């Protein structure tokens, strides 16, 4: 909320209720890194008052101009429940948390009794030099996640590079890497839910970032297909293996269930021949 209070001020957005200024001053007074449950409960009502003020919502709608987590609105909408003393995080709450991957995490999932090793690496710039260590001859597929809703945002790392462009450039280096020519790539065009909200937001427009976009900027299908084509077009001729794609919403367990089943089939089919030989 401190970030939003600060953004409202810098963006010169007028309070809907002038009394919110008092609540804002109270929030600004907090200097610390964490709150215990009791302190949090005390702040919750103040934060709630601010979140209800249209000025803060307006600042949030302009968040492409500053850095704030996409899950902020989810947690602020759920504030009353979260501030309760008997609060226990739900699966959905946990899925909305942001914890950047620092390092390399490995876990095995058995698919039709065949153990598949999944390797999770961090996407932030500082994490990428760790990727090369994970790429050896045993890699059968690469799952690449793109935040499609970030077409109007800049990197937290340098505050100037467009996030979708950065993602596309990394995808380019992977897709066109000679070492991965025969490895299937599964592209997840993720954050579909946030993209759906964004195409309706009058504070932004994909054409401001991609003037070559000729579709309807308020149609999620048009925007999704444009981004898909943009990523598919980076592929150069030497690549022989397929690039599969899925439109995903990683915080929707039902969607991920369907996508995972499909990915499972892809991985199994593509590797069946090799597995039978073992």
Ligand X SMILES: Nc1nc2c(ncn2[C@@H]2O[C@H](COP(=O)(O)OP(=O)(O)OP(=O)(O)O)[C@@H](O)[C@H]2O)c(=O)[nH]1
Q: Are strands 141-147 and 184-190 parallel, antiparallel or unpaired?
A: parallel
Q: Which does 217 bind (CB under 5 to 8 A by kind): ligand X, Mg ion, none?
A: none
Q: Which CB, 101 or 261, lies closer to Mg ion? A: 101
| Cα of 116 vs its chain's centroid, Å | 25
Among 31, 98, 159, 160, binds ligand X (CB under 6 A): 98
Residues touching ligand X, count (CB under 6 A): 21
Residue 91: strand, helix, or coil: helix
What are the start-end ranges of the E strands in 24-88? none
Residue 145: strand, helix, or coil: strand
184-190 β-sheet, strand order: 141-147, 184-190, 243-247
DSSP conformation letters of 230-270: HHHTT--TT--S-EEEEE--TT-HHHHHHHHHHHHHHHHHH
Q: Which CB, 83 or 174, lies closer to Mg ion? A: 174
Residue 121: strand, helix, or coil: strand
Q: Which CB, 123 or 215, lies closer to ligand X? A: 123
Q: Which does 26 bind (CB under 5 to 8 A by kind): ligand X, Mg ion, none?
A: none
**Residue 100 is assigned to a ligand binding site:** yes
* Smallest gap from residue 145 Cβ to ligand X (A): 6
Question: CA 197 to CA 217: how far, in whole Å?
Answer: 12
Name which of residues 7 to 66 contact ligand X (CB under 6 A): none
Name which of residues 167 to 206 contact ligand X (CB under 6 A): 190-191, 193-194
Q: Which does 249 bind (CB under 5 to 8 A by kind): ligand X, Mg ion, none?
A: ligand X
122 touches 113 (CB < 8 A): no
Q: Which CB, 204 or 249, lies closer to ligand X? A: 249
Among 71, 162, 201, 225, binds ligand X (CB under 6 A): 71
Q: Look-up: residue for tokens 């890194």? A: 33
**Residue 212 is assigned to a ligand binding site:** no
Site pattern 72..111 for Mg ion (x: CB under 5 A): -----------------------------x----------
Q: Which CB, 46 or 147, lies closer to Mg ion? A: 147
């Amino acid at each position: 909320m401190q970030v939003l209070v600060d953004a409202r001020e810098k963006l010169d957005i007028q309070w809907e209720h002038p009394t919110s200024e008092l609540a804002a001053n109270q929030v600004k007074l907090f200097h610390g890194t964490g709150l215990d449950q009791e302190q949090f409960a005390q702040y919750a009502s103040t934060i709630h008052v601010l979140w209800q003020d249209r000025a803060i919502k307006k600042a949030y709608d302009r968040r492409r101009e500053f850095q704030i987590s996409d899950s902020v609105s989810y947690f602020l909408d759920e504030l009353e429940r979260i501030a309760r003393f008997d609060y226990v995080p739900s699966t959905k709450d946990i899925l909305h948390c942001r914890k950047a991957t620092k390092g390399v995490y490995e876990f095995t999932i058995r698919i039709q009794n065949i153990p598949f090793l999944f390797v999770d690496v961090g996407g932030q710039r500082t994490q990428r030099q760790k990727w090369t260590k994970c790429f050896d001859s045993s890699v059968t597929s690469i799952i690449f996640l793109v935040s499609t809703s970030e077409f109007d945002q800049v990197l937290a790392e340098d505050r100037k590079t467009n996030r979708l462009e950065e993602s596309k450039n990394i995808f380019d280096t992977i897709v066109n890497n000679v070492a991965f020519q025969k490895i299937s790539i599964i592209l997840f065009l993720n954050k579909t839910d946030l993209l759906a909200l964004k195409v309706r937001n009058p504070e932004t427009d994909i054409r401001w970032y991609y003037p070559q976009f000729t579709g309807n900027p308020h149609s999620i299908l048009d925007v999704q297909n444009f981004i898909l084509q943009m990523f598919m077009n980076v592929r150069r001729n030497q690549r022989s293996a397929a690039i599969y794609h899925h439109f995903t919403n990683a915080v929707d367990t039902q969607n991920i269930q369907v996508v995972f089943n499909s990915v499972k089939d892809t991985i199994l089919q593509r590797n069946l021949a090799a597995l039978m030989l073992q």
